[in-house]
Structure 1
Amino acid sequence: MVLDPHRWLELRRFRSLYEVGAMSLREIAKETGLNRRTVSKYLTGQAPVAPPKREPGTQPRQRVVDEVAPLIDAMLRSEILLKASVIHERLVQEYALAINYQRVRIYLQEARPRIAEELGITPGELAGLHRRFEVVPGAQAQVDWGDEGQVLAHVGIPKVYSFHMTLSYSRDLFCCFTTSQDLASFFDCHRRAFTHFGGAPMTIVYDRTKTVVRRHVAPGEAVPLHPEAVAFAGHYDFDIDVLAAYRPQGKGRVERQVLIVRDHVLAGRAFSSIEEMDAAFAAWVPLRRAKVHGTHGEIIGHRAVRDHMALRPLPKTPYVVAQRHLRHVGKDCLVAFDANLYSVPARKVRPRQLVEIRATKSQVTLHSAVPGASGETLLAAHPRAVGRGARIVDESHWDGLPTGAGRRTTTGDGPPPRRDQPLGPEAGSLQALLNRAAAASVEVGRRPLSVYDELTGTRPFTTNRVTKEPS
């Protein structure tokens, strides 16, 4: 079999994978659609290495990857160093395309240099490099999470996270610790950071966390923001800046602060509560501000003064972010939220009714979907449970429900219960019937079934079969 030039070039791309053992001859034959003997012939050196000449007028065979080539090229134009595994993952998950990873990898060997030349850059020389930027005082802050693991597992807290905000101009930092990364905790940490700095920056840089981004989109498309994040930013008058995917260099200043806090505040110490961890950071802040920063060459505290003075003033009333969810009411007047149960008044709800849950960091309120006669929707308010499996119940919510206090049982062997009201003349026979022992002693008459057959005039039923004697 003589291969056409296109199929020969495609088969030659698999040579390096075959030589290092990444793919077998059978797998290559399946990918290329060629016979296994043909693949072995061209990859083991039995066939000439020069490509056969294509006959004039013939068209190269269409590859599967050619159909998604424009999409892959667009991804490379947004990020030239995007990995083949990331591109393949996005094609499968976001675009529901069934394409082999090796085909994407082989295509990138040709496409990446071409796109880099088109953009005027050299990927090999720019690997691991990024553009440095400088900002004016009060212009920008960066936010990130840190996972501190099980530092409080000995007191029953399974996971602890650290929230970090760093002012980009001075590198002045804020950190607090929490047990959750949910929406309410995330923006509660923002309010604490603004209080720490004395104002809000003009812009805050985030990665694509679910508390800021409503859903992920393809490269080049506008990122849809979470409604609560937009409302919070509007209340404190700052802009949201979301980084491109897989670009942590865009907030490297706060990324570095996560490691610094971990080394200087947490390393080698034991804590028994979140409050102790927050106090340890607050005690370390003056030491940090007294140091000369290696990048801008100034004392962090002196530069932070200019940064703080340029921040925007805080509004008089804080914005309280609440998670909103719809849940059904159980028959026990309990509503499940975040693996915990909260009670609602039995007189105001019905089983399977939908109620709205509004949860902040410290409180959970339950609201009716339809306002009452007074226009109020609030059904109940509870402190938010810590952990999972808790049941927060207000006993007054169960008023009017059966308590089971009137239920009694008896064996019937003892004397009948005394009553205040005297019974009539038939009390003797009635009490005898109610008494189990007396009822058991009543004799019941027994009659043969033939008596009932005579009364009804029916022929008695018999199971005796009449058999004919042999003659």
Structure 2
Amino acid sequence: MLKTEEWLLIRDLYSQGFNISEISRKTGFDRKTVRKYLRLKNLPEPQKRPGRKSKLDPFKPYILEKLKEGPYTAARLHREIKEMGFDGGKTIVKDFVQNVRPEQGITAVLRYETKPGVQAQVDWGELGTVEADGKLKKLYCFNMILGYSRMRYVEFTLSIDTPTLIQCHLNAFGYFGGFTQEILYDNMKQVVIKRALKVSDSEWNSQFEDFFKCFGFIPRLCRPYRPQTKGKIENTVGYVKRDFFLGRRFTSLEDLNAQVNRWLERVNSTVHGTT
């Protein structure tokens, strides 16, 4: 198919009195081609070539449907469609999810990175309700993440009292094979009753104070209204919700914790980008 400027050149030469044979010699186009384009009043639009088929195409409806249900991570969606027969990589799934998921503005902040063994961060997440002993109870998610390696420990509980918090710490220490010099918390009442301007002057929860003094780690409190000071753990809470818990089926609290332990084996085997 001729370009617009070539078509216009043929028409211009014809309007100057050149015949088809002369136009053919001047332009190098075949006489049939010259004659054909002289008959046209408008140059036809070029036909678009059909796009190349992607191996992701059969799985796109499933991904779109899942994204309607909730903010699943691309990594989780990739695992699910692999079980359905997809044999492609993560990148093509990630790119597709980024294109179809609504964009959310993210405020840039400067993170404080810690050295190995220095700091861990802890928080609770609330994940709705579950039926236990014939009653609806709130389901909580204890999260601890090591500041340097981003290794995580996650445990689901039906309580957020101080003895449960302490037991979750002990389970996390066992999972990690030790504990860091300090652990960062928000101002949860299970840790601190009254925060002072100088953290060491704060009134600690007596049970938790006995616990951290016995083990010898230093509790740190994040600054009020400065959520970025514990961004690692808040990212972990959101990641657990999106990559593990969303749409999860389980028969009991024990079953849920067994499933999250298998999930932890996978996510903790991935080296973090800042490590």
Short-chain TM bin: 0.5 to 0.7
Deviation (angstroms), 1:129: 5.0
1:371-428 Cα deviation digits (max 9, x unpaired):
xxxxxxxxxxxxxxxxxxxxxxxxxxxxxxxxxxxxxxxxxxxxxxxxxxxxxxxxxx
Partner residue of 1:188? 167
Partner residue of 2:145? 166
Q: Which letter maps to 1:264?
A: D
- Alpha-carbon distance change, 152 to 238 in structure 1, aligned in 2, over 3 angstroms: same
Are 2:232 and 1:257 aligned?
no
Are 2:203 and 1:224 aligned?
yes
Instruction: Considering Cα pairs closer than 8 Å and 6+ residues apart, tell me whether 1 or 2 has the greater RCO.
Output: 2
Are 2:115 and 1:136 aligned?
yes
Partner residue of 1:464? none
Deviation (angstroms), 1:227: 2.2
1:277-323 Cα deviation digits (max 9, x unpaired):
10011111221123242x31x5xxxxxxxxxxxxxxxxxxxxxxxxx
Greater gyration radius = 1
Partner residue of 1:209? 188
Identical-residue share of aligned pairs (%): 35
Deviation (angstroms), 1:153: 6.8
Structure 2 gaps, min length 5:
1-105
1:52-107 Cα deviation digits (max 9, x unpaired):
xxxxxxxxxxxxxxxxxxxxxxxxxxxxxxxxxxxxxxxxxxxxxxxxxxxxxxxx
Q: Which letter maps to 1:261?
A: V
Runs of 4+ that moved beyond 3 A: 127-131, 151-155, 219-222
Deviation (angstroms), 1:151: 4.0
CA contact (8 A) 2:122 2:145 kept: yes
- Alpha-carbon distance change, 257 to 152 in structure 1, aligned in 2, over 3 angstroms: farther
1:414-465 Cα deviation digits (max 9, x unpaired):
xxxxxxxxxxxxxxxxxxxxxxxxxxxxxxxxxxxxxxxxxxxxxxxxxxxx
The TM-score with structure 2 as length reference comes to 0.57
Q: 2:225 aligns with which of 230, 236, 246?
A: 246
- CA distance in 2 between counterparts of 1:201 and 1:291 reads 21
Secondary structure of residue in 2 paired with 1:174: strand
- CA distance in 2 between counterparts of 1:194 and 1:132 reads 25
1:187-245 Cα deviation digits (max 9, x unpaired):
1111111011011110000010101111245x568422222222111111100101121
1:136-186 Cα deviation digits (max 9, x unpaired):
111110000000111447953421000000000000000101111111111
Q: Which letter maps to 2:250?
A: F
Are 2:266 and 1:287 aligned?
yes
Deviation (angstroms), 1:131: 3.4
CA contact (8 A) 1:213 1:226 kept: yes
Deviation (angstroms), 1:134: 1.9
CA contact (8 A) 2:112 2:229 kept: no
Q: Where in structure 2 are the equivalents of 1:35-434 lying within 5 Å?
A: 128=107, 130-152=109-131, 156-217=135-196, 222-293=201-272, 295-296=273-274
- Alpha-carbon distance change, 154 to 148 in structure 1, aligned in 2, over 3 angstroms: farther
- Alpha-carbon distance change, 292 to 155 in structure 1, aligned in 2, over 3 angstroms: farther
Q: CA RMSD in A?
A: 2.2
- Alpha-carbon distance change, 178 to 133 in structure 1, aligned in 2, over 3 angstroms: same
Structure 1 gaps, min length 5:
1-126, 299-471
- CA distance in 2 between counterparts of 1:233 and 1:139 reads 15
Equivalenced residues, count:
169
CA contact (8 A) 1:200 1:236 kept: no
Partner residue of 1:422? none
- Alpha-carbon distance change, 290 to 147 in structure 1, aligned in 2, over 3 angstroms: same
